[in-house]
Amino acid sequence: MGELNWAGNYEYRAARIAAPGSLDDLREAIGSATKVRALGSRHSFNALADSAELLVSTAALPPAVRIDEQQRTVTVGGGMRYGDVARHLQEAGWALHNLASLPHISVAGAVATATHGSGDRNGNLATAVRGLRILRADGELVDLRRGEPGFDGAVVSLGALGVVVEVTLDIEPSFDASQRLFAGLPWEAVATQFDSITSSAYSVSLFTTWDEPTVALAWVKERADAPSGIEDDFFGASALTTPRHMIETMDVRNTTEQLGVAGPWNERLPHFRFEFTPSNGAEIQSEYLVPRARIGEAIEGVRRIAAVVAPLLLVSEIRTVAADELWLSSAYGTDVVGLHFTWVRDQAGVEAVLPALEAVLLPLGARPHWGKLYLDRDGIVPSLYPRLDAFRSLARTFDPEGVFTNAFVARYL
């Protein structure tokens, strides 16, 4: 039996699927199987969550939210969605440092794959993790805290250690934010002033189809407590006076409020509203996190093959992520720039295009997003993670029988 992902392009495979409603039920389900994978909000686009025997959905686990104001942390159930956590925090006067484009993704799933928001000084979502509670295959609960041995390997784990049942995250006082859109950013400005563009606000995203004479849209997000001072010209791009979806054919009502209208952080940092169907739905996504020092070469290389890429592309996003020390993070040891590709839902067509794209990006050290569609036919990706051997050792310690390993994970372990 199978379970379709959110976009409908991939069916997770397993002999059976369980949705335990309690920790005891989860422990019993895991104990009854020799191969198990955890399934979050179904936002991955590849075989990462496949299981030869049992898939356990975390969606029905208790949605605990415990705020510790003294420690400035929140502890939540791993299966909770960021949008739900954010609403609880905002109501209590607290915030997370950043959110991904989609607030519909589960906390544990996003953390385990190094999913990210945007901003030169903002680490990915996993960098906010202060602690983890992991249920191992032998039924033991293991608590790990930041600074303890193995913690930096356990945060971005691809689900290979066990089921993350609770996550403790750093929080900060709530803040307001706003976003403005600018149209027609010259490619020359991107090439010569990239650092100035991306550092000009709390978060900057550039949207393009690569074959355009200019970058179609720049989305600029500002914190109210740190205004950028940007006026109606953004490095040659003009401020829009009407809202826009990044995909021209899509309903703008799905996007968070624009035009500089200030609002709570959780209603501005994501691109999409929590109460609406996100993005396009019928799509496929790929993303490659390029070392920031190589971004000029990466952009030039993708533009050279625009005629190959654009026909299958709905839109592409360029945004920045700060470096971290999490072993399997796509930003391990270096600031990165994410080149995200939202494709039409044509699996064969996209897979035919990816070799040309990866021939440009992987030699530059670009790390594919663990949960998106990529091929890596030459097996380059493992060489891009200097701490991979240490992670393999950690995985053997947590799961010596390989209960939480599948074909996707085994390719790297």
Which residues lie across from 340 on neighbouring strands? 287, 317
Across 45-59, average pLDDT:
92
What's the first-to-final CA gap in the chain, in angstroms? 26
CA atoms within 13 A on the CB side of 202: 21
Give the pLDDT band (50/70/90) at residue 6.
confident
Average pLDDT across the chain, whole number: 95
pLDDT tens digits for 128-170?
999 999 999 999 999 999 999 999 999 999 999 999 999 999 9
Q: Is the pLDDT of residue 3 over 80?
A: no
Answer whether 43's CB lies under 8 Å from 5's CB.
Answer: yes
Nearest to 159 by CA among 129, 135, 185, 124: 135
pLDDT tens digits for 182-217?
999 999 999 999 999 999 999 999 999 999 999 999
Measure CA 60 to chain center.
22
Answer whether 359's CB lies under 8 Å from 297's CB.
Answer: no
Query: In 58-128, at which residue ranges do the beta strands (DSSP E only) sit?
Result: 65-68, 73-77, 94-95
Q: How far is CA 392 from CA 359, 388, 400, 412, in A?
A: 27, 6, 10, 9
Give the pLDDT band (50/70/90) at residue 251.
confident
Whole-structure pTM value: 0.96
Nearest to 38 by CA among 79, 98, 90, 67: 79
CA distance 21 to 26: 7
pLDDT tens digits for 26-37?
999 999 999 999
Query: In 33-175, at which residue ranges do the beta strands (DSSP E only) sit?
Result: 36-39, 54-57, 65-68, 73-77, 94-95, 129-135, 141-145, 163-170, 172-173
Which range, of 2-16, 79-93, 197-211, 341-355, averages the lowest pLDDT? 2-16
User: What pLDDT does 400 receive?
Assistant: 97
Query: What CATH architecture applies to the domain 65-174?
Result: 2-Layer Sandwich (3.30)
User: What pLDDT does 100 receive?
Assistant: 95
Nearest to 321 by CA among 122, 152, 127: 122
CA distance 178 to 158: 33
Q: Is the pLDDT of residue 118 over 70?
A: yes
pLDDT tens digits for 259-318?
999 999 999 999 999 887 655 568 999 999 999 999 999 999 999 999 999 999 999 999
Higher pLDDT, 247 or 218: 218
Give the pLDDT band (50/70/90) at residue 249.
confident
User: What pLDDT does 390 receive?
Assistant: 98
Nearest to 66 by CA among 3, 118, 131, 127: 131
Q: Is the pLDDT of residue 413 over 70?
A: yes
Helix then strand then coil, % of the chain, to nearest 5 = 25, 30, 45
| Helix/strand/coil (H/E/C) assignment for every residue in 365-405 | CCEECCCCCCCCCCCCHHHHCCCHHHHHHHHHHHCCCCCCC
Q: Which residues lie below 8 Å from residue 117, measured CB to CB, with a gap of 6+?
A: 98, 99, 100, 101, 124, 125, 203, 269, 321
191 by DSSP, 3-state: which? helix
Q: Is the pLDDT of residue 94 over 70?
A: yes
User: What pLDDT does 2 receive?
Assistant: 62
